[in-house]
């Protein structure tokens, strides 16, 4: 298997901007196509005061920075020209993280996504929704976000809904990490609750020790299958093991993770994300080398 | 408005060295000139045991590392050939930060700046002083540094004196940040005290949420005007919003900050700083792209 | 003096991978040779679940990631073709750091190093052992690691044994740092204990203030001489003084450290490490410039 999907991280949370304009993006969509990427996922349409386009809904809701370039239009156009599927990531107002206020998140997104469908709903490449609020365990309030928002999105445009949760693993949570059994138990709860609201689940694969990953991949695939969800693996191409947050991953780790996801029989591999960490056009020279190593390997 | 001034950060506090020699600096002064930079500000002539030239005063005062290259001479020469104004940043002994000992800071700088005027005072480009001790609020001891040092500098060479304070904003101070009213109140105190000692104030623009920036820019300009000070804005070209400290800023943020500073009617835009973050010669590919985006925009 | 040895950091603890394949390594060995490097030291043959080759011993002991490429073979081959000396760095199981369990470290390494000698012991370039467990002071348990392991290594292949400790200095330990007298006292203890087990000691030179370094270099050389050990200096080429961990060092600091190590009469200069921080092929543009500055100086 190879990686056939990537996030587009242009309203970024913690990854430095590469300051690309339309020409650089075009060139990178070409590079994606060349390695077989057929799916692009907008990581989020907006985050707090920043957005990928000048949205009337968001501007009406709070002070926003100007978007200057309509990135949704740009990405839909580039994806459309290459027969790629584009998944639209919802807006993250930040209120859930700051104040546990999920009501605002849902309320804004309902109006905002209606605006999105109004503006972009008829574009060929618009093939899915991505709910951008990442979760790692069962949480009542977050379930409501997923339920209400997913129902609303489905009503606006009936295309597959993707989520990409993370494992409450030791690399991020240290001693508060969940073990495999606890992980499975809490996700049984999650999927029992949202199985009719979400279609595809792509667990991030970077939060547990690499040598524990096979067990998690296997468990996650079975878990998803039990609830009728499609399994993708989000094969992270950045490295969580070093001081600098975050450089491209060591190719040996990437290859191992892809081999294990393949062995676990997931349906598709996507990555966070191509343009910074796996692209021949990335700023990091190590990403350009990762691209080279990856190409040598998949072209074998 | 465009950015017409930049700091030169070669005795750096926390930005990695690019290891440039005279040739690389020459090339970068060319690049500065090409985008209309007419003012360069040495961020500090020395910091603890490092200095921009081998100073008899500093060597007499403590163990210093050799300078190897006289950067003050190099910068004055390059600035002079291009009719740029050079502001000389004072020495930071570190004793104020470590022990609250401002007496040493003032005492060393008096002798040191006399040596500076002796060595470089007649150079054409020597157009101003920059007091490198950054402050964010009223502090009695720091006021004395500013008063005594500024008087002394004025006596050595009567050229404009610049300061570039930071806002005690949430990006650096979290819950201990000052609100706008508190910020204005404390800076009323500062300016009432040092209005006759300093000529230009260039607040750093990166410490508050971007969408709050317009109010701060406006308040700062009015504040400065009330005390007869010239207002510049220090439009930071590095990004404070990501894990890595620090990459070049996202162009969208830079453009927004320049637009807002223009709307607030400041007299000049400077930046910290061109060579690492906005230059076509910078190490960061994202800085080279920022340069491209910035050029496209100012050249319209 | 110039730098004639370098570590090879390919099972890295905290430095991002450059994702080099055999071609990139070959090119970098050429670059090393060009600046006079005659000694390469594998920083560690493995770390926890990662290894430089697929070892039967390690695979029998725990879950390991595949190595994919045999780096020990690659490095021995490239070193051999250039008449370089290769020092083999032992495996770090992580159990000592995690649980104070040094028994496991010693036990695994005994079997592992036997496998190493079996596989690579007859290679021309195999010229030394490097005990990869870094220490900074006397510690009874660590002494046992050094004693037992060194005896065992000597029995497997009788070549010089190198260690590269760090100073318990203020850059890493703040207020818990040792002063020079305490440093000397604890290292008297260490060397009294392991003088017959280790042949060469290369203290890392980046943990104390640069202007204190001359005193430490002098003390360390005398200390080693008193116990019949050869003194090398590990002239670090990365910068410990900035937020980003870690960029290439400022050339001025590197030059100063080399000048001081030369003045202290050490026998050889090695560095951690060439390929990321001092190479014309490194990812960091600042490393490539450091290479240039260094070449200008040594060829000067």
Which residues of chain C approach chain A closer than 8 Å at the C-beta?
A: 12, 14-21, 24, 49-50, 62-68, 244-246, 283
d(CA A206, CA C108): 28
Q: Are A243 and C14 in contact (CB < 8 Å)?
A: yes
d(CA A197, CA A153): 10
Q: What is the pLDDT of residue C252?
A: 95
Four-residue CA torsion sign, C22, C24, C26, C28: negative
Buried/exposed C77-107: b ≥16 CB within 10 Å, e otherwise: bbbeeeebbbbbbbbbbebbeeeeebeebbe
Q: Which residues contact C292 (CB under 8 A, 6 or more apart)?
A: B19, B21, C280
For the cut 80, the answer to whether the pLDDT of residue C281 exceeds it is yes
Query: Smallest Cβ distance to C250: which of B19, B63, B244?
Result: B19
- What are B162-195's pLDDT values in tens digits? 999 999 998 889 889 999 999 999 999 999 999 9
Residues of A in Cβ contact (< 8 Å) with B284: 283
Q: What is the pLDDT of residue C70?
A: 98
Q: What is the pLDDT of residue C171?
A: 86
Angle subtended at Cα C202 by Cα C195 and Cα C83, rounded to the nearest 5 degrees: 105
The mean pLDDT value for A274-290 works out to 97
Residues of C in Cβ contact (< 8 Å) with B17: 239, 247-251, 286
d(CA C170, CA C179): 9
For the cut 80, the answer to whether the pLDDT of residue C103 exceeds it is yes
From residue B256, give the alpha-carbon distance in Å to each of A17, A66, B214.
15, 8, 10
The mean pLDDT value for A90-106 works out to 92
- What are A47-63's pLDDT values in tens digits? 999 999 999 999 999 99
Which residues of chain B approach chain C closer than 8 Å at the C-beta?
A: 12, 14-21, 24, 49-50, 62-68, 244-246, 283
Q: Are A16 and B247 in contact (CB < 8 Å)?
A: yes
Q: How confident is the model at residue A12 (pLDDT cuts 50, 70, 90)?
A: confident
* A105 neighbors A139 (Cβ within 8 angstroms): no
Q: How confident is the model at residue C189 (pLDDT cuts 50, 70, 90)?
A: very high
d(CA B252, CA A243): 28
d(CA B213, CA B260): 8
Chain C: give the shortest CA distance to residue A255, in Å: 9
Q: How confident is the model at residue C107 (pLDDT cuts 50, 70, 90)?
A: very high
Q: What is the pLDDT of residue B172?
A: 85
For the cut 80, the answer to whether the pLDDT of residue B13 exceeds it is no
Q: Which residues contact A251 (CB under 8 A, 6 or more apart)?
A: A289, A290, A293, A294, A297, C17, C19
d(CA A283, CA A275): 9
How many beta carbons lie within 10 A of that of residue C299, not counting itself?
A: 8
Query: Smallest Cβ distance to B65: which of C210, C239, C290?
Result: C210
Q: How confident is the model at residue C158 (pLDDT cuts 50, 70, 90)?
A: very high
Chain A: give the shortest CA distance to residue B114, in Å: 42
Residue by residue, DSSP assigns chain C as --EEEEEE-SS-SSS------HHHHHHHHHHHHHTT--EEEES-SEETTEESS--HHHHHHS-----SS-HHHHHHHHHHHTT-EEEEEPEE-SHHHHH--HHHHHHHHHHHHHHHHHHHTT-TTEEEEE-----SS--HHHHHHHHHHHHHHHHH----EEE------HHHHGGGPPPHHHHHHHHHHHHHHHTTT--EEEEES-SS-GGGHHHHHHHHHHHHHHTTPEEEEE---B-SSSSSS-PBPPHHHHHHHHHHHHHTT-SEEEES-HHHHT-TT-SSHHHHHHHHHHHHHHH-
- What are A147-193's pLDDT values in tens digits? 999 999 999 999 999 999 999 998 889 889 999 999 999 999 999 99
Helix (H, G, I), strand (E, B) or coil at B163: strand
Residues of A in Cβ contact (< 8 Å) with C68: 252, 255
Q: CATH 3.30.1050.10: does it fit domain B3-298?
A: no
Q: How does the average pLDDT of chain C come out, rounded?
A: 96
Q: How confident is the model at residue A242 (pLDDT cuts 50, 70, 90)?
A: confident
Residues of A in Cβ contact (< 8 Å) with C15: 242
* A11 neighbors A44 (Cβ within 8 angstroms): yes
Q: Are A19 and B293 in contact (CB < 8 Å)?
A: yes
Q: How does the average pLDDT of chain A come out, rounded?
A: 96
d(CA C270, CA C266): 11
Q: Which of B170, B215, B243 to mutate to test the interface with A (most CBs of A within 10 A)?
A: B243
Q: How confident is the model at residue A14 (pLDDT cuts 50, 70, 90)?
A: confident
Chain A: give the shortest CA distance to residue C234, in Å: 22
Asked, as a colleague might, if the bond just before B183 is cis with ω within 30 of 0, I would say: no
Q: What is the pLDDT of residue B267?
A: 96
Q: What is the pLDDT of residue C14?
A: 82
d(CA A7, CA B195): 52
The mean pLDDT value for C286-290 works out to 97
Chain A: give the shortest CA distance to residue C246, in Å: 8
From residue A216, give the alpha-carbon distance in Å to each of A178, A206, C145, C164, C278.
12, 11, 36, 39, 40
The mean pLDDT value for B24-47 works out to 97
DSSP state of B68: S
Q: How confident is the model at residue C186 (pLDDT cuts 50, 70, 90)?
A: very high
High-pLDDT (> 70) share of chain B, %: 100
Q: What is the pLDDT of residue B294?
A: 97
For the cut 80, the answer to whether the pLDDT of residue C13 exceeds it is no
d(CA B259, CA B3): 11
Residues of A in Cβ contact (< 8 Å) with C65: 210-211, 252-253, 256
d(CA B248, CA C154): 51
The token pair that represents C59 in the structure block? 């695979």
The mean pLDDT value for C220-225 works out to 97
Angle subtended at Cα A80 by Cα A77 and Cα A86, rounded to the nearest 5 degrees: 90
Q: Which residues contact B4 (CB under 8 A, 6 or more apart)?
A: B36, B37, B38, B39, B268, B269, B270
Q: How does the average pLDDT of chain B come out, rounded?
A: 96
From residue A101, give the alpha-carbon distance in Å to each of A95, A193, B142.
5, 20, 43
High-pLDDT (> 90) share of chain C, %: 93
The token pair that represents B215 in the structure block? 């109010």
């Amino acid at each position: 298997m190879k990686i056939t999907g990537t996030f587009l991280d242009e309203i970024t949370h913690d990854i430095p901007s590469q300051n690309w304009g339309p020409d650089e993006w075009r060139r990178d969509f070409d590079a994606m196509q060349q390695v077989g990427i057929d799916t692009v996922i907008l990581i989020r349409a907006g985050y707090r005061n920043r957005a990928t386009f000048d949205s009337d809904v968001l501007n009406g809701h709070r002070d926003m920075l100007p978007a200057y370039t309509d990135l949704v239009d740009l990405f839909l156009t580039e994806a459309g020209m290459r027969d790629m599927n584009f998944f639209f990531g919802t807006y993250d107002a930040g209120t859930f993280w700051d104040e546990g206020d999920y009501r605002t998140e849902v309320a804004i997104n309902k109006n905002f996504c209606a605006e999105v469908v109004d503006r972009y709903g008829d574009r060929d490449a618009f093939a899915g929704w991505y709910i951008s609020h990442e979760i790692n365990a069962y949480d009542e309030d977050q379930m409501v976000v997923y339920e209400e928002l997913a129902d609303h999105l489905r009503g606006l445009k009936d295309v597959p809904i993707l989520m990409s949760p993370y494992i409450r693993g030791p690399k991020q949570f240290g001693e508060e990490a969940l073990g495999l059994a606890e992980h499975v138990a809490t996700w049984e709860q999650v999927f029992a609750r949202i199985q009719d609201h979400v279609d595809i689940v792509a667990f991030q694969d970077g939060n547990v020790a690499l040598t524990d990953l096979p067990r998690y991949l296997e468990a996650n695939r079975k878990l998803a299958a039990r609830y009728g969800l499609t399994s993708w693996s989000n094969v992270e191409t950045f490295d969580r093991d070093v001081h600098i947050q975050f450089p491209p991953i060591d190719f040996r780790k990437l290859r191992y993770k892809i081999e294990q996801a393949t062995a676990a029989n997931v349906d598709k591999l996507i990555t966070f994300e191509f343009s910074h960490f796996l692209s021949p056009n990335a700023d990091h020279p190590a990403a350009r080398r990762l691209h080279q190593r990856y190409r040598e390997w998949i072209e074998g």
